Structure 1
């Protein structure tokens, strides 16, 4: 147990209120190694004030779809668990940009295919770009091949 100065640290409730997350989310982030706390003599958690910037970093990365494991890996590379700086964010956002662009491209493709799929009502697997891209099942004869194959399993 480390005795902490109450002026330099925040309680879980204070951090949660300022970061806009539930206290349970703080505990989750801590278990995942994204943030850390110290304990008072009474075994109560206390967070350094810079945890707020670290939480903002985590939440922004989450919003754009970066998996928490990748966020944790990047944060673990920072010396002494320091808070990510503007330069850190620029480096990471540049590295993640290609991945985000690819994800956007796949989502747009899914959206476009999904729209045409709704038109067929999934009654025609020949035309369904989601279930049967390129009519790969057309050579197996008429009918709902995927449903027949799944029912045999």
Structure 2
């Protein structure tokens, strides 16, 4: 007999198949990431297709994708039936775009950090990572020049420096 995505599995079977503890499954359910029904004896039972959702949650956690983003993407998936191949392709495209954006941000940070550490200029006026004399205080907290790459100091030069 072939398994159907709509077959039901007990919480014990889900734990065995995914390696995710019951406490995490309960947490994911409270967050609306997965869904269960109540079977005989009031035991939680899950549609087999929840295994894929749980697996994607595990992958997302490994990639440091916040659960709030997972929840946002999962809202595009049906809850009353197994998602189709087309449904999963849509989710894949959304996450691919998000991962590409994160990759670009990390590459930019790497270039700026390498330039700062490698230049040895000791010039706080030209450094991309510092805010000399707190000149950019009015622009907000944190590394303003990294968050807004084209911010110039109030007295002049652009933040971009040839490295």
Shorter-chain TM-score: which interval? 0.5 to 0.7
Q: How large is the RMSD of aligned CA atoms in angstroms?
A: 3.3
Q: TM-score, normalised by structure 2?
A: 0.60
Contact 1:12 1:46 in 2 (8 A): yes
Give the structure 2 partner of residue 33 of structure 1: 32
Deviations 1:55-93 (A, max 9, x none): 123333444454433432333333443333332222222
How many pairs are equivalent? 133
Gaps of 5+ in 1: 1-7, 141-153
2:76 maps to which residue? 77
How far residue 139 of structure 1 moved from its aligned partner, in angstroms, is: 3.8
Deviations 1:87-146 (A, max 9, x none): 22222222343332222111011122223344579x753343223447845849xxxxxx
Q: d(CA) in 2 for partners of 1:97 and 1:9?
A: 31
* Greater share of residues in helix: 1
CA contact (8 A) 1:117 1:129 kept: yes
The 8 Å contact of residues 126 and 135 in structure 1, kept in 2 or not, is answered as: no
Find the aligned partners of 1:83 and 1:65 in 2 and give their Cα distance.
26
Match of 2:105 in 1: 106
* 1:10 matches 2:14: no
Give 5+ residue unaligned stretches, structure 2.
1-6, 132-144, 157-163
TM-score (norm 1): 0.63
